[in-house]
Amino acid sequence: MKHILVVIYIFYCWLNNVVVINGSSAGDVLSQQFTKFAILQAVRGDEQVVLTWNAVPAVLEYVIEYGTSSQTYTKTLISLSSSLTITGLDNGFTYYFRVTARLITGATNTTSEVSVRLPRLSGLRPRELGLLINDNDPESVMIGEYYRTRRHIPSQNIVHLNVSIKVQLSSAEFLALKDQVDRTLPTTVQALAIAWTIPYRVECNSITSAFALNYMDGPCKASTCNWAASSPYYKTNSTKPFTDFKMRPAMMLAALTADETKSMINRGIASDGTHPRGSAYIMNTTDSLRSLRARIFPVANLGTALSSSVNVQIRNADWISNTTDALFYFQGLASVINIDRNEFPPGAIGDHLTSFGGMLTDSYQMSALKFIAGGTTGTFGTVTEPCAYAEKFPDPTIMIQYYTKGETLIEAYWKSILQTFQGIFVGEPLANPWKQEIV
Ligand SMILES: *[C@@H]1O[C@H](CO)[C@@H](O)[C@H](O)[C@H]1NC(C)=O
Ligand SMILES: *[C@@H]1O[C@H](CO)[C@@H](O)[C@H](O)[C@H]1NC(C)=O
Ligand SMILES: *[C@@H]1O[C@H](CO)[C@@H](O)[C@H](O)[C@H]1NC(C)=O
Ligand SMILES: *[C@@H]1O[C@H](CO)[C@@H](O)[C@H](O)[C@H]1NC(C)=O
Ligand SMILES: *[C@@H]1O[C@H](CO)[C@@H](O)[C@H](O)[C@H]1NC(C)=O
């Protein structure tokens, strides 16, 4: 009788490992194990599948072949054990697998094909993210490589640049880099991760805005308190900013030390699909000018009006401490104390509305990187004097709404600001705590 491998997908939740069980009863599986070489289990996850097949005696190695159409295998992997995690797959696609056992005798035995459909999940994907590495900066090379492997960024999405290690680039220096990035990246790349801490500025622009929306010289020549071109991505539902607006929102993989950058990356990855519940603290501090966001925050959006997962509250205080539930921490001071006296859930963001928080390494105010040091996964600041315009800082309503809807950190944070030219975004761009399946 021709054996037909029937697989049943038991879908608990996209995050919990989802087990594909051989359609036969457990007894059949056991008795077949010795007569039929087969893939026993395929556990689907986020951009990955874990395959398990029955071990064959006197085997040299197993050859795993797969691709996105039946009987057409475009990728090959080798395993010495009878299980393998296949990473770097694309959500929303069906993959076809087979395994060949190569025996010591030279004989081979191949399984039937098994197919697995990966769920389509909300948010930007690793294959849509470009990664900029400064080959001139050993720390950038190390962080870039760490991020590439942790998030499985495809090699064609990586741009190796030669950037001077200083705080500020001239517009001429920057335009040469921008040109190289634009020429190198495939059009499928929608956003950028920048794997260094300095340079963070191009004249009066942040480097994240300059890469995303081009260098804007207007405010640098006149006054940085002026407005420049607005971000066309602001408050949109776009999932493909490069396709839709020819812009690639950018975010720095930056921190005060390389170890802190790695921890931030780890937190971003750990946040995926955790669906946390907690609070958003919008601080109304003793500094009323910098508490602008608390003053103008719509009362109707307090409590769980924006998301059932987040209790939004105004705190009349200069800091929070001893909290474990701060998913969003919107501060209004030049310097914030006790950030690290809290335990931030993975994926949390914190920022302070002040003039120079975006001067990452040389600010006389507090660097936004102190939020990363304190345990958040994202932060934001301005690199030159913005003056007190709420439109130049993250809007808590938009940030909370879009992030909890299942967008990644880079998408939600960028969409929350209208005037981005002097604002620098820092964080793990793909952090996606409220990642969800799209049907
Ligand atoms: C190889 O496959 C054949 C046919 O399915 C089977 O009879 C044989 O036992 C297999 N050999 C091993 C080592 O699994
Ligand atoms: C990087 O740029 C510097 C100065 O612009 C130059 O001296 C150096 O040779 C460049 N390195 C590479 C690898 O191109
Ligand atoms: C974005 O999508 C939401 C539903 O998720 C909808 O209510 C809103 O009107 C959309 N906004 C725009 C600008 O299309
Ligand atoms: C912020 O604090 C001031 C007192 O410092 C108070 O008058 C004001 O009502 C507070 N605003 C909010 C939104 O709580
Ligand atoms: C925070 O906890 C520490 C001890 O864990 C305690 O000494 C301190 O008073 C607490 N602070 C607040 C504001 O509750």
Ligand 4 atom closest to residue 284's alpha carbon, by position in its atom list: 1
* Dihedrals phi, psi of 213, to nearest 5 degrees: -120, 15
How many whole angstroms from 139 Cα to the centroid of ligand 1? 51
**Regarding predicted confidence, which is higher, 20 or 57?**
57
- CA distances 433 to 249, 346, 380, 436, 439, Å, are 19, 8, 18, 9, 18
* pLDDT tens readout for residues 163-217: 999 999 999 999 999 999 999 999 999 999 999 999 999 999 999 999 999 999 9
Q: Is the pLDDT of residue 11 over 50?
A: no
Q: Is the pLDDT of residue 24 over 60?
A: no
Answer whether 304 contacts ligand 5 (Cβ < 6 A). no
Using an 8 Å Cβ cutoff, are 249 and 402 in contact?
no
Four-point Cα dihedral 155, 191, 69, 63, nearest 10: 30
Q: Exposure of 355 by Cβ count < 10 A (0-12 exposed, 13-18 middle, 19+ buried)?
A: buried
Q: Of the candidates 166, 250, 245, 159, which has an alpha carbon nearest to the alpha carbon of residue 210?
A: 250
CATH classification of 2-118 is 2.60.40.10, yes or no?
A: yes
Q: Is the pLDDT of residue 82 over 50?
A: yes
Q: What would the two tokens of residue 368 be?
A: 């936004």
If one counts every other C-beta atom within 10 angstroms of the C-beta of residue 277, the result is 14
CB neighbour list of residue 57: distance below 8 Å, 6 or more residues apart: none
pLDDT given for residue 35 in this prediction = 63
* pLDDT tens readout for residues 369-425: 999 999 999 999 999 999 999 999 999 999 999 999 999 999 999 999 999 999 999
Bridge partner residues of 331 (DSSP) = 352
pTM reported for the whole predicted model: 0.87
pLDDT given for residue 439 in this prediction = 79
Kindly state the average pLDDT of the residues 280-292: 97
For β-strands 201-202 and 168-169, DSSP reports them as: parallel
Answer whether 162 contacts ligand 2 (Cβ < 6 A). yes
Using an 8 Å Cβ cutoff, are 194 and 200 in contact?
no
Residue nearest to atom 1 of ligand 5 (CA): 322
Q: Average pLDDT of the chain?
A: 92
Ligand 2 atom closest to residue 162's alpha carbon, by position in its atom list: 1
How many whole angstroms from 317 Cα to the centroid of ligand 5? 15
Kindly state the average pLDDT of the residues 64-85: 97
Q: Of the candidates 431, 380, 377, which has an alpha carbon nearest to the alpha carbon of residue 260?
A: 377
Residue nearest to atom 13 of ligand 4 (CA): 295
Q: What percent of the chain has pLDDT over 90?
A: 90
Bridge partner residues of 312 (DSSP) = 280, 303
Residues 369, 153: Cα–Cα separation, whole Å: 24
Residue the block writes with tokens 């914030």: 336
Residues 219, 213: Cα–Cα separation, whole Å: 14
**Regarding predicted confidence, which is higher, 129 or 32?**
129
Helix axes 138-151, 258-271, angle to 10 degrees: 10
Q: Is the pLDDT of residue 1 over 70?
A: no
> How is 386-398 classified by DSSP, letter by letter?
--S-GGGS--HHH
Sign of the Cα torsion 76, 81, 86, 87 reads negative
* pLDDT tens readout for residues 327-369: 999 999 999 999 999 999 999 999 999 999 999 999 999 999 9
Using an 8 Å Cβ cutoff, are 432 and 275 in contact?
no
Best probe residue, ligand 4, of 284, 291, 318 (max atoms within 8 Å of C-beta): 284
How many whole angstroms from 278 Cα to the centroid of ligand 5? 19
Residues 287, 219: Cα–Cα separation, whole Å: 27
Q: Is the pLDDT of residue 297 over 80?
A: yes
Ligand 1: residues with CB < 6 A are: 35-37, 56, 109
Q: Is the pLDDT of residue 146 over 60?
A: yes
> How is 222-236 classified by DSSP, letter by letter?
S-TTS--PPPTTTT-
* pLDDT tens readout for residues 310-329: 999 999 999 999 999 999 99
DSSP code at position 121: B
Ligand 3: residues with CB < 6 A are: 236-237
Four-point Cα dihedral 8, 9, 11, 16, nearest 10: 110
Kindly state the average pLDDT of the residues 75-89: 96
Amino acid 13 reads C
pLDDT given for residue 36 in this prediction = 85
CA 377 to chain CA centroid, Å, is 10
pLDDT given for residue 330 in this prediction = 98
The residue ranges of every structural domain in the chain are 2-118, 126-438
Amino acid 9 reads Y
> How is 62-90 classified by DSSP, letter by letter?
EEEEEESBTTB--EEEEESSSEEEE-S--
Best probe residue, ligand 3, of 234, 235, 237, 415 (max atoms within 8 Å of C-beta): 237
